[in-house]
Amino acid sequence: MKRAHLHLEQALTSALHEIGVTEAKVILERPRDPEHGDIATNAAMVNAKGANMQPRKLAETILEKLKVDSSLIVPVGVAGPGFINFRFADHYLQSIATLAVEQASAFGQSETLKGQRVQIEFVSANPTGPLNVVSARAAAVGDSLSRIFRLLGAQCDREFYVNDAGNQVELLGQSYFCRYLETQGIAAEIPEGGYRGEYIAEIARKLAADKDSEELRKAIKIVDKPWKANVFGESVISWLGRRAMDEFISRHERSLEHFRVHMERWFRESELREAKAEWNALTELEKRGAIFQQEGAKFVRTSEYGDGQDWVVVTSQGRPTYFLPDIAYHLTKFRRGYDLIIDILGPDHHSYLTKMGAAMSALGEDAKKLEILLLQHINLLRDGEPVKMSKRAGQIIEMDELVEEVGVDAARYFFLMRKTTTPLDFDIELAKRHSDDNPVFYVQYAHARIESIFRRAGIEEPSESSHVELLTHPEELKLLRRLRELTDVCAECATTRDPHAMTVWLREVATQFHRFYHHCRVIGDSAELQAARLTLCRATQVALRTGLDLCGVSAPKEM
RNA sequence: ACCCCCGUAGCUCAGUGGAUAGAGCACCGGCCUCCGGAGCCGGGAGCAUGGGUUCGAGUCCCGUCGGGGGUGCCA
């Protein structure tokens, strides 16, 4: 799909050669104002010195020497300080419609990232409660990004890192136990730093109704201090902690699958710990001289590898900080051979990039492969009024609640509508509204409307001999230009690591389709023109469906 | 104290170093005997501020002001 650009670039280079510029610099750009054409080049300005000519004069000379295939590109002249402008040939644009229909779901695919192995880690919420809306944004962004990377030919794995080890298991077990005791009519105080969410009480009530509850009741009775009880051969606290975590992990998986997000791997911290991976990482760091002791604690010399300070990896009590297993975990990513490793984290982890990057450098890895994407927070609104959320009081809005209320389509689309670097205002009432101020429905409506045109025409597929050369109306050509942009937009999303541009493009395609629809009658008296326009309609549908699918949003045939 | 993100139209936001800075919402006025009016057409206003780099800066660098978030052997 890039053939027009490639062709023009080569033609400009050889024209410059002919003029006598040996080291020709050719950059193609897109004029901001469509009046200036589809492609512009500043070649005459940049190469003016090399040619020893005034920019405008050089531009004229280039145009004289330039040989371009007029079925692809048409020069429109010199403008401003020396820009040379070009337009896509109608023939080229018309061929896009045919191409899209032929390629169908493969439209937009490319091999730009072929051979690249990419890993994206996202959500990775602690298994101490249900997923909340913050995770939902990460899920939408991470999953769409991976879909885009795949369309561009990369292999991309999605991964969830499960923090199922460390003292939060204990803490969760204690909180769970307290709630369980309450169901047995025994008063209990949730410990400092414990989990107070209603969802713990919920699973405790479930447990009380479970057959394992019998065993638990017996165990509690024999000991005077219920905390010291053992059940199924281990302490009641750790048994409960693991049980609660497993429950939450499978709930996370269900929530994500329902949100159309499938993780290739759920990487458990407990596996790392069992293999002593954190201590192996420490040994490796020590071997490389990257560890020093101070006041009984062990520090990693991250400051020597680009971070602002050194960080504790083992406390003076001899316990690893969370950073050590994290290092071990990231080391596995590098050792698994990925070319690009992306972590999507919340804005509170902004120290992570230099810190983890430095640790990886200290271990001899190429830290440039690791990228940390800091996803900004979301503010939930209802008709413009903020929805109060307090994690401490356990009043979080669950991802499932939000998705149930607004639907997967609206939720995923809304989460992508802002750049990842911008905090997102999510208005629940707006997302639910089926009206023209809701962008999701605007885009989906365009797709459904096309389907209805085919129904109305009584035709399933556009005919093969579909005279696309008849697509010459300005609105038709503008629509074709939009469809051509799909590969550009995908490439942009991949480079910026942000699917947001896809939602902007989708809206533009939908807008241009509605304009075309208004100005050009599809079902008409000329069979040839009808065939050509049906082809354009199908091509638009293909493009919309691809874009929506990359966002994880459905493309309905009727609404 | 330090660190990160952000200041563009009344509101929410686009804007790969290039030409006269764009959309949506809201507001006003038009358009259905016509393929889905969940649509189309028309109408106004703006780059927080001071420097610097450049032939050229909303975009890159430094300062100031304003908003949001975070941090000091907790995860």
Q: Which residue is nearest to nucleotide B14 (CA to C1')?
A: A504
Q: Look up residue A52 and give its amino acid.
A: N
Nucleotide nearest to A323 (CA to C1'): B75
The protein footprint on chain B, as nucleotides within 7 A of a CB, is: 3-6, 12-16, 18-26, 34-41, 55, 68-71, 73-75
The whole-number Å distance from A456's CA to B19's C1' is 45
Residues 238-297 of A with CB under 7 A from strand B: 294-297
Q: How far is it, in rounded angstroms, from Cα A24 to Cα A15?
A: 9
Residue in A436, A381, A385 with CA at minimum distance from that of residue A406: A381
Q: Edge-to-edge strands of the sheet including A370-374?
A: A265-268, A155-162, A117-121, A340-345, A370-374
pLDDT for A388: 67
Which 107-126 residues of chain A approach strand B with CB closer than 7 Å?
126
Q: What region, left, alpha or beta, does residue A80 occupy, with left being phi > 0 and alpha being psi -120 to 50 degrees?
A: left
Q: What is the spatial distance, in angstroms and rounded to an integer, between the CA atom of A289 and the C1' atom of B35? A: 74
pLDDT score recorded for residue A360:
93
Average pLDDT, chain A: 89
Residue A300's CB is within 10 A of a number of other CB atoms, namely 28
Interatomic CA distance for residues A46 and A81, integer angstroms: 11
Please report the pLDDT score of residue A396 as a whole number: 64
Q: Are A292 and A301 in contact (CB under 8 A)?
A: yes
Nucleotide with minimal C1' distance from the CA of A319 is: B73
Q: Which of residues 126-165 of A touch strand B (CB under 7 A)?
A: 126, 163
CA of A100 to C1' of B36 (A): 24
Using a 7 Å CB cutoff, list residues 432-461 of A near strand B: 434-437, 439, 441-442, 445, 448-449, 451-453, 456-457
C1' of B44 to CA of A437 (Å) = 21
Sorted by where each starts, the structural domains of chain A and their CATH numbers stand as: 3-88 (3.30.1360.70), 117-164+263-374 (3.40.50.620), 167-258 (no CATH), 436-551 (1.10.730.10)
- The pLDDT assigned to A90 comes to 94
Residue-wise pLDDT for A138-153, tens only, equals 999 999 999 999 999 9
Gap from A427 CA to B59 C1', in Å?
A: 30
- Spans of chain A, pLDDT less than 50: 1, 391-394
Largest CA distance in chain A: 99
Task: Enter the DSSP assignment of A453.
Answer: H
| pLDDT, tens digit (0-9, with 9 covering 90-100), for A266-304 | 999 999 999 999 999 999 999 999 999 988 899 999 888
ipTM of this complex:
0.92
A85 touches strand B (CB under 7 A): yes
Q: What is the pLDDT of residue A248?
A: 94
CB A192 within 7 Å, strand B: no
